[in-house]
Amino acid sequence: MWRAKIFVTLREGVLDPQGQAVRSGLMSQGFKAVSDVRIGKYMEVTVEATSIDEVSAMVRAMCERLLANPVMEDYHFILEEVQ
Amino acid sequence: MKFGIVVFPGSNCDVDCYHAAKEVLGQPTEYVWHQEQDLSRFDCLVIPGGFSYGDYLRCGAIARFSPAMEAIARESERGKLVLGICNGFQILLESGLLPGAMLRNNHLQFRCEERHLRLENNRTPFTNLGEVGQVLRIPIAHAEGNYFIDENGLAELKRHNQIAFRYCDEQGRITPESNPNGSIENIAGITNRRGNILGMMPHPERAAEAILGCTDGKLVWVSILKWWGDIHA
């Protein structure tokens, strides 16, 4: 069994109004050093596979087809073998 | 002319669209459950607004994999008309039947209000009774209507005259103040290159009868019927 930890983020250059709102919240809390906040999604997907190559190809296909929208989002993931 | 109104779990403008097609236009109209695989009996398929699948993951992201959407892709290739309103527009974007994507409104608020739209292209089945530059007053109701497309995509849209409606002020001027959601170039509705698929965030079914306070949205419905009448004359 494998666990994929998947991060989906807005593509560079795509405006992130949520991130901007959170940034101004942080600024008002005194975190003046914050220059940017980008908000994304985190997903954990547990899959059965025999090799890391197999699970990697599978998760990539999941991201391309459904989990991320390539028009506005990028994705990356980390794979862990689990019991 | 036969209308099919596609119903997903979470659709909530299906009854309004049914009413517009059935009662305002007086045409045979059926609801279509999203599991249906054969939609060949319809001339126009309407994907209504709402929150299909609770907007989980992204608006329209799950709905696009339904059997009805596969059928809609097939029927659109055969030249049938497809009208996606609000969540219907989002589903068309997710399915790739229209280019681009929807982001959260730039101010993060849900906006439910009347808006002015400038008709940008009257050479479509959905706008043929209008004039370019005509201003329509039609309500919007969404939190994710901030249309996004990259520079190349935008140039393509313009080259093929695919922008159908843009948000404007009462006089028809395209201004930053008249943009309710941050949409690129104030885009409110686009068509595919062939022109038989229209996606729009504003709700023409909510402005199709005097009792609703405004009849400007009727132009879209009546244009559809006119187009169909012309090709079957």
Choose among B101, B106, B149: nearest Cβ to A15.
B106
The complex's ipTM works out to: 0.87
How far CA B50 is from CA of A14, B116, B194, in Å, comes to 25, 21, 26
CATH superfamily of A2-81: Phosphoribosylformylglycinamidine synthase subunit PurS (3.30.1280.10)
Q: Are B21 and B48 in contact (CB under 8 A)?
A: no
Query: How far is residue B8's CA from residue B50's CA, in Å, rounded to a whole number?
Result: 9
Judge whether B108 is closer than 8 Å to chain A, CB to CB. Answer: yes
What is the token pair recorded at B211?
């009792």
Query: How far is residue A56's CA from residue A59's CA, in Å, rounded to a whole number?
Result: 5
Q: What is the pLDDT of residue B197?
A: 98
Judge whether B86 is closer than 8 Å to chain A, CB to CB. Answer: no
Residue range B126-132: mean pLDDT, rounded = 98
What domains sit in chain B, N to C, each tagged with a CATH number?
3-231 (3.40.50.880)
Residue with tokens 């009413």: B19
Q: What is the pLDDT of residue A83?
A: 82
| CA B29 from centre of chain | 18
Q: Which of A72, A73, A74 to mutate to test the interface with B (most CBs of B within 10 A)?
A: A72
Which amino acid appears at position B61 of this protein?
A
Three-point CA angle A31, A36, A41, nearest 5°:
110
Helix ranges (DSSP H) in B86-198: 87-94, 151-159
Q: Average model confidence (pLDDT) for chain B?
A: 97
Of residues B50, B25, B41, B60, the one with CA closest to residue B208: B25
Q: What is the pLDDT of residue B53?
A: 93
Cβ within 8 Å, pair B104-A21: no
Cβ within 8 Å, pair B103-A18: no
Residue B233's pLDDT band, with cuts at 50, 70 and 90, is confident
Q: Which residues of B touch A14 (CB under 8 A)?
A: 103, 148
The model's pLDDT over A14-69, given as tens digits with 9 standing for 90+, comes to 989 999 999 999 999 999 999 999 999 999 999 999 999 999 999 999 999 999 99
Q: Which of B89, B150, B151, B190 to mutate to test the interface with A (most CBs of A within 10 A)?
A: B150
The model's pLDDT over A11-27, given as tens digits with 9 standing for 90+, comes to 998 989 999 999 999 99
Residues of B annotated catalytic, as ranges: 86, 203, 205
Tell me how crowded residue B198 is: count the other CB atoms within 10 A of its CB: 30
Residue ranges of the domains in chain A?
Answer: 2-81
Query: How far is residue A66's CA from residue B185's CA, in Å, rounded to a whole number?
Result: 28
Query: How far is residue B204's CA from residue B6's CA, in Å, rounded to a whole number?
Result: 16
Judge whether A17 is closer than 8 Å to chain B, CB to CB. Answer: yes
Q: Are A75 and A7 in contact (CB under 8 A)?
A: yes
Percent of chain B with pLDDT over 90: 99
The model's pLDDT over B63-116, given as tens digits with 9 standing for 90+, comes to 999 999 999 999 999 999 999 999 999 999 999 999 999 999 999 999 999 999
Three-point CA angle B222, B227, B233, nearest 5°:
120
The model's pLDDT over B14-59, given as tens digits with 9 standing for 90+, comes to 999 999 999 999 999 999 999 999 999 999 999 999 999 999 999 9
Q: What is the pLDDT of residue A13?
A: 87
